[in-house]
Amino acid sequence: MRLLRASKGNYQFHLGQREKHVFCELLGLYPCIPPAHQPLSKNGKVPDGELNQHLLDEALAEQRADNQNQLKVFLSDPLRLVPIQKEHDRGFRLTLSPAELEWLLQILNDIRVGSWLRLGSPEEPRLVLDAATMPHVWAMEASGHFQMQLLAAVGEDRDPPSL
């Protein structure tokens, strides 16, 4: 995946054939983070703690359901990943609005963090690779790869350093 251009509020990326396949397979894994995974507070000193925790879990669950629906539309849209018909380029062009790019970052990070959780939240990046861990390591690394490309594209529009 590489940025072709960022202009007029749109980002255009190039994906090779295999990359496109990996991209779609990866997005099909969403959601990976289990529901009601994070506490609202560590020390629990929040008024109506149980109720507020329930409301947070519910809001995140709604968000997850919305994302799943949006993802179905995204992956089935024939204009989303357009084949490039050039002699030496059989890749695909992916066009994203800034809002879609932000959304995709969230989706990819859910897959990355969720895969890490399924690996047992290891502190060390070095893992024993076997049949059980390999799918999660693959998902973690692949989502990380796409995330970095998207973040680099956003960096093109980064605000200037303050003095």
Partner 1 sequence: MAEIATPEVRPGKVETVEDKPELTLEPGYLVICWNDPVNFMDYVTHVFQRVFGWARVKAELHMLQVHEQGKSVLTREGLEKAEHYVHQLQKHSLHATMERDE
Interacting residue ranges for partner 1, rule: CB under 8 A: 33, 38-43, 45-47, 52, 55-56, 59-60, 63, 102, 105-106, 109-110, 112-114, 116, 121-125, 140, 144, 147-148, 151, 154-155, 158-159, 161-162
Least separation in angstroms between residue 152's CB and partner 1 is 8
Whose Cβ is closer to partner 1: residue 93's or residue 147's? 147
Strands (E), the chain: 2-7, 10-15, 81-83, 92-96
Measured from the Cβ of residue 73, the count of other Cβ atoms closer than 10 Å reads 9
Strands (E), 69-111: 81-83, 92-96
Length of the chain: 163
Least separation in angstroms between residue 48's CB and partner 1 is 9
Picking from 38, 97, 43, 45, the residue whose alpha carbon sits closest to that of residue 63 is 38
Whose Cβ is closer to partner 1: residue 93's or residue 109's? 109
Least separation in angstroms between residue 158's CB and partner 1 is 6
Whose Cβ is closer to partner 1: residue 86's or residue 158's? 158
Taking 3-state DSSP, the helix, strand and coil percentages for the chain, each rounded to the nearest 5, stand at: 50, 15, 35
Whose Cβ is closer to partner 1: residue 25's or residue 102's? 102
